[in-house]
């Protein structure tokens, strides 16, 4: 009796296993059929357009006026504040991707172009304690403050402009092998990256940093004439004009990995996906700097006239060219929504170019060029 019961239980277990296996096979067939249908509907050509608001690390050495010590002693704001480049740039980008039918290979070409402009102004002045003349017998001189026309000042007008272009030509293959589902992908690409950075800066400064006057009152006419005929410590007026053009142009191999995984939705109603990617490159190119700085120095000894009795001019051009290798690392992460042959994406993207620019003035000094910020794009598929 027990043997008969065991046999019956085994038959029931076998039927349950058979039914489970058949159901699983049916589900796999349906999924495979849906995946094939997605592959059949796949677009051959994708066109992508987008933009990015980038925070920039766009460092460069500022133009320094003479006699900074005297400026700092008088508590003046630094002239460097007016010369800072813009902290943000607007980028536009486009990408063309081609994937032949019945192939996992993807060929793409993309371009990113951005620019920024910034104008800075700084004007600070500090009146010196004027000499008070107490001569009641001479009404025209009584309580006269002398001199009135000379003050310590700094006046700066500066402008900076920057443009950058990044071009990529890549051939990649989807190696996801269904890891992220029918609508997912994992593509490894090799290619060539070209980068061009250009920057222009101009600065005009007028600085009078070291006027020093007597602070005790004058109480007699003889003392007054003696004061205006004797020269206190001479002071200076500096007029500085500087122009600098900097650029880097490089080309080199690149490697990238881009992936996408569906989060929710269906192909007919739209799929919300998570997208991410990383890229590395080594750019071989040249850094160039072409600039000049002209400084006119007026030395004024007779404070009663304010007229310079000596002046000199210094002109210091600087032209440098250097071959460099610039490492480049970047990445992005974001969300996308795709329905049929239409896709909208948004996220955060960053690209770091280490030591890309020579931002020095008199001597070479390298600075990074980094771009990072939110982006958005729209893609349209054609064909398939």
Task: List strand residue ranges (DSSP E) for 217-309, in order.
Answer: 235-266, 270-300
Residue 12: other Cβ atoms inside 10 A: 10
- How far is Cα of residue 195 from the mean position of the Cα atoms in its chain? 14
How far, in Å, CA of 295 to CA of 64, rounded?
11
State the 10-residue block means of pLDDT for the chain, 384 residues long.
44 45 38 39 86 87 76 68 85 93 90 92 74 70 57 85 95 74 80 95 86 69 70 75 93 95 85 94 95 85 58 83 96 93 94 93 89 95 80
User: What CATH architecture does domain 44-382 belong to?
Assistant: Beta Barrel (2.40)
CA angle 71, 75, 81 (to 5 degrees): 75
- Say what the pLDDT of residue 200 is: 92
What's the maximum distance between 2 C-alpha atoms anywhere in the chain?
Answer: 144
Distance CA 156, CA 159 (A): 10
Whole-structure pTM value: 0.76
CB atoms within 10 A of CB 307: 9
Q: What residue segments make up the domains of the chain, in order of their start?
A: 1-40, 44-382
C-beta separation of 330 from 348 below 8 A = no
Predicted local confidence at residue 344, as pLDDT: 95
Contact 65, 207 (CB under 8 A): yes
Q: Is residue 204 a contact partner of residue 237, using CB atoms and an 8 Å limit?
A: no
pLDDT, position 207: 86
Residue 228 φ/ψ region, left for φ over 0, alpha for ψ in the -120 to 50 degree band, beta for the rest: alpha
Write down the pLDDT at residue 293.
87
Hey, CA dihedral for 325, 112, 332, 269, is it positive or negative? Answer: negative
Give me 233's structure tokens: 């410590």
List, in sequence order, the alpha helices (H) in the chain. 2-40, 68-73, 221-229
Identify the pLDDT of residue 33: 37
Look at the block and give the residue holding tokens 């699983």: 24
pLDDT at 40: 41
Burial 329-353 (b: 16+ CB within 10 A, else e): ebbbebebebeebebebebebebbb
Q: Enter the DSSP assignment of 71.
A: H
Instruction: Read off the DSSP letter of residue 218.
Output: B
Q: Residue 5's pLDDT is what?
A: 46
What token pair was written down for 177? Answer: 């092998």
């Amino acid at each position: 009796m027990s043997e008969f019961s065991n046999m019956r239980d085994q038959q029931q277990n076998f039927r349950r296993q058979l039914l489970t296996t058949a159901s699983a096979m049916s589900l796999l067939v349906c999924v495979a059929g849906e995946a094939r249908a997605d592959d059949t509907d796949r677009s051959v050509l994708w066109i992508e357009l987008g933009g990015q608001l980038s925070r920039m690390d766009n460092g460069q050495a500022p133009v320094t006026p003479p006699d900074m010590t005297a400026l700092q002693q008088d508590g003046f704001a630094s002239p460097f504040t007016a010369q800072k480049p813009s902290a943000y740039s607007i980028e536009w980008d486009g990408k063309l991707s081609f994937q032949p039918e019945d192939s996992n290979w993807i060929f793409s070409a993309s371009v990113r172009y951005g620019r920024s402009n910034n104008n800075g102004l700084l004007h600070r002045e500090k009146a010196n304690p004027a000499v008070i003349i107490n001569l009641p017998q001479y009404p025209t001189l009584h309580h006269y403050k002398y001199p009135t026309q000379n003050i310590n000042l700094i006046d700066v007008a500066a402008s900076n402009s920057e443009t950058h272009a990044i071009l990529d030509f890549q051939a990649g293959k989807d190696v996801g092998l269904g890891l992220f589902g029918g609508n997912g992908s994992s593509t490894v690409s090799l290619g060539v990256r070209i980068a061009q950075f250009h920057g222009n800066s101009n600065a005009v400064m007028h600085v009078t940093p070291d006027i020093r006057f007597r602070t005790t009152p004058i109480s007699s006419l003889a003392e007054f004439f003696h004061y205006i005929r004797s020269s206190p410590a001479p002071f200076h007026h500096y007029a500085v004009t500087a122009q600098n053009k900097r650029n880097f142009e490089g080309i080199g191999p690149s490697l990238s990995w881009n992936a996408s995984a569906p989060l929710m939705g269906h192909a007919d109603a739209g799929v919300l996906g998570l997208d991410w990617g990383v890229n590395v490159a080594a750019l071989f190119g040249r850094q160039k700097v072409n600039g000049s700085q002209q400084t006119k120095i007026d030395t004024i000894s007779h404070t009663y006239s304010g007229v310079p009795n000596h002046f000199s001019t210094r002109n210091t051009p600087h032209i440098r060219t250097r071959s460099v290798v610039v490492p480049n690392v970047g990445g992005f992460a974001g969300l996308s929504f795709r329905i049929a042959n239409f896709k909208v994406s948004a996220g955060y993207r960053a690209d770091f170019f280490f030591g890309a620019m020579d931002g020095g003035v008199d001597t070479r000094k390298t600075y990074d060029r980094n771009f990072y910020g939110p982006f958005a794009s729209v893609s349209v598929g054609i064909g398939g």
